[in-house]
């Protein structure tokens, strides 16, 4: 017991209850001990505690939880705009932090977290599980091995289907002041992947974004799906009662805080775009073409790296109306084979667990001692900051019609002293659990 991480879970929505609650205890119980659960909605916290199969005390106040239970790790799974307050309080109490992505939603909130991490000497991990997916790791290995030479450009396009994509517009994510828009909330995953793949930092962003399907573009609207007079004719109707998990976690608890899990996707006050494109220039002169679409008949992504010696390409299917093999196929195409195959089809089998095994591999890296990290998959606060800044720059560019430099948004992050400080922190904490 003395060797276990004593952790507190803050936020008992879907992700907190499953990934960082039930599943963490089920698979890593020998390494962690849940000592507290915190949520502003007491009934949701009670329901989550039952699902997690824990007897940890429940708190409605983070300050009281930190004072009374003294966890050495706090896992933050609350709405995005609240992350910074909780992360800073946890760091100042002497705890390390794992925060769900995005780490924060504004420049000021990013700065608060970075300053607190430096001031306290504690560590922030950001939950970038896509880095740990087996296919992503294999692509990183191919790039590192110089298989396509120097990468010059990347084509990266992400597709959300009408189930997953629409769900963001039912929830609090549909408001820019809560989520930073999907350029921040969702694309932070994708921007972090690019930063990690390319081993560089984004410099300048130019973007376009529009609301094309949801919000005020809808043909009708109602108070919420459960009470909507249009439920029989709405393609996006969600019967929350048909999902026991969502019903238990959100329906009756909504009487406490008024948060409905089946909000109308056509609410007129939705203020985030649903169709987004961005061009990104990196410090190492790589140019990226990126897009995010939220109402497709398919789920997954396409990515291609164009290099001086060839090209790496992947089309990953996550959900689509046809059969696909239980594996990903990476295409490695060479400009000048010189005795090697001009094309290699590298098969990467899907692993069990969320994100094709990425969730499990990330939890292993964080909680099991002695696991090497040769690909630099474990992500800290600087990685979290850069991915969010890229999203903030994209949203600002789409609104202003101008190119946005990340260094203009947060000059102190790109100062030579700051870069060196985070490199030293990363090195010093590499062996910490």
Both structure tokens of 283: 């410090």
| CA gap 16, 412 in Å, rounded | 32
pLDDT of residue 427: 56
What does DSSP say about strands 275-282 and 404-405: parallel, antiparallel, or unpaired?
Answer: unpaired
| CA gap 327, 316 in Å, rounded | 9
Which residue bears the tokens 């973007």? Answer: 207
Q: Are 38 and 68 in contact (CB under 8 A)?
A: no
| CA gap 157, 431 in Å, rounded | 35
Instruction: Name the strands in the sheet holding 151-161, side by side, starting at the edge strand that comes first in the sequence.
Output: 343-349, 327-334, 310-319, 299-307, 151-161, 287-296, 275-282, 202-210, 404-405
Measured in whole angstroms, how far is the alpha carbon of residue 259 from the centre of its chain?
22
Q: Is 41 helix (H, G, I), strand (E, B) or coil?
A: coil
Domains of the chain: 5-127 (3.40.50.720), 130-215+270-356+381-417 (3.30.360.10), 219-255 (no CATH)
pLDDT of residue 241: 96
Strand residues in 80-141 grouped as ranges (E) = 96-99, 124-126
| CA gap 275, 49 in Å, rounded | 37
Label residue 53 left, alpha or beta by phi (over 0 means left) and psi (-120 to 50 means alpha): left
Q: Are 422 and 380 in contact (CB under 8 A)?
A: yes
Instruction: Name the strands in the sheet holding 73-76, side by side, starting at the edge strand that comes first in the sequence.
Output: 58-59, 32-38, 5-10, 73-76, 96-99, 124-126
pLDDT of residue 353: 82
pLDDT of residue 426: 56
**For the chain, how many residues are written?**
433
What does DSSP say about strands 73-76 and 58-59: parallel, antiparallel, or unpaired?
Answer: unpaired
| CA gap 152, 147 in Å, rounded | 13
Q: Is 176 helix (H, G, I), strand (E, B) or coil?
A: helix
Q: Are 112 and 84 in contact (CB under 8 A)?
A: yes
Q: Is 263 helix (H, G, I), strand (E, B) or coil?
A: coil
Q: Are 104 and 113 in contact (CB under 8 A)?
A: yes
**Helix, strand, coil percentages for the chain (3-state, nearest 5):** 40, 25, 35
Instruction: Kindly report, residue by residue over 14-60, the tens digit of the pLDDT.
Output: 999 999 999 999 999 999 999 999 999 999 999 999 999 999 999 99
Instruction: Look up the pTM and report it.
Output: 0.95
pLDDT of residue 360: 96
Angle at CA of residue 64, ends 59 and 68, nearest 5°: 95
pLDDT of residue 355: 86
- Residues of the chain with confidence (pLDDT) below 50: 1, 417, 429-433
């Amino acid at each position: 017991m003395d060797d276990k991480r004593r952790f507190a879970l803050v936020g008992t929505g879907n992700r907190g209850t499953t990934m960082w609650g039930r599943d963490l205890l089920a698979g890593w119980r020998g390494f962690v001990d849940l000592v507290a659960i915190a949520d502003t909605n007491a009934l949701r916290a009670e329901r989550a505690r039952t699902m997690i199969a824990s007897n940890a005390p429940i708190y409605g106040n983070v300050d009281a939880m930190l004072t009374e239970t003294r966890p050495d790790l706090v896992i933050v799974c609350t709405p995005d705009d609240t992350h910074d307050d909780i992360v800073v309080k946890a760091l100042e109490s002497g705890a390390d932090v794992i925060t769900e992505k995005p780490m924060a939603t504004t420049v000021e909130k990013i700065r608060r977290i970075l300053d607190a991490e430096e001031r306290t000497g504690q560590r922030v991990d950001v939950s970038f599980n896509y880095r740990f997916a087996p296919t992503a790791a294999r692509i990183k290995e191919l790039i590192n091995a110089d298989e396509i030479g120097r990468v010059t450009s990347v084509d990266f396009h992400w597709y959300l289907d009408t189930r997953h994509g629409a769900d963001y517009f039912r929830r609090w994510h549909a408001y820019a002041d809560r989520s930073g828009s999907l350029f921040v909330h969702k694309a932070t995953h994708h921007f972090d992947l690019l930063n990690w793949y390319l081993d560089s930092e984004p410099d300048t962003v130019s973007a376009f974004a529009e609301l094309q399907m949801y919000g005020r573009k809808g043909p009708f609207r109602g108070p919420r799906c459960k009470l909507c007079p249009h439920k029989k004719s709405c393609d996006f109707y969600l019967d929350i009662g048909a999902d026991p998990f969502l019903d238990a976690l959100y329906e009756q608890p909504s009487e406490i805080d008024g948060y409905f899990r089946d909000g109308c996707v056509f609410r007129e006050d939705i203020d985030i775009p649903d169709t987004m494109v961005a061009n990104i220039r990196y410090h190492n002169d790589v140019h990226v073409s990126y897009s995010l679409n939220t109402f497709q008949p398919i789920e997954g992504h396409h990515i291609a790296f164009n290099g001086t010696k060839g090209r790496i390409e992947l089309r990953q299917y996550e959900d689509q109306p046809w059969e696909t093999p239980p594996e990903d196929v990476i295409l490695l195409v060479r400009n000048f084979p010189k005795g090697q195959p001009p094309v290699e089809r590298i098969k990467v089998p899907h692993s069990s667990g969320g994100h094709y095994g990425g969730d499990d591999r990330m939890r292993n890296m964080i909680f099991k001692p002695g696991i090497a990290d040769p690909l630099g998959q474990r992500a800290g606060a600087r990685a979290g900051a850069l991915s969010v800044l890229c999203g903030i720059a994209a949203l600002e560019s789409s609104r202003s019609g101008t190119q946005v430099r990340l260094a203009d948004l947060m000059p102190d992050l790109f100062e030579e002293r700051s870069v060196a400080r985070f490199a030293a922190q990363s090195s010093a904490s590499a062996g910490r659990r």
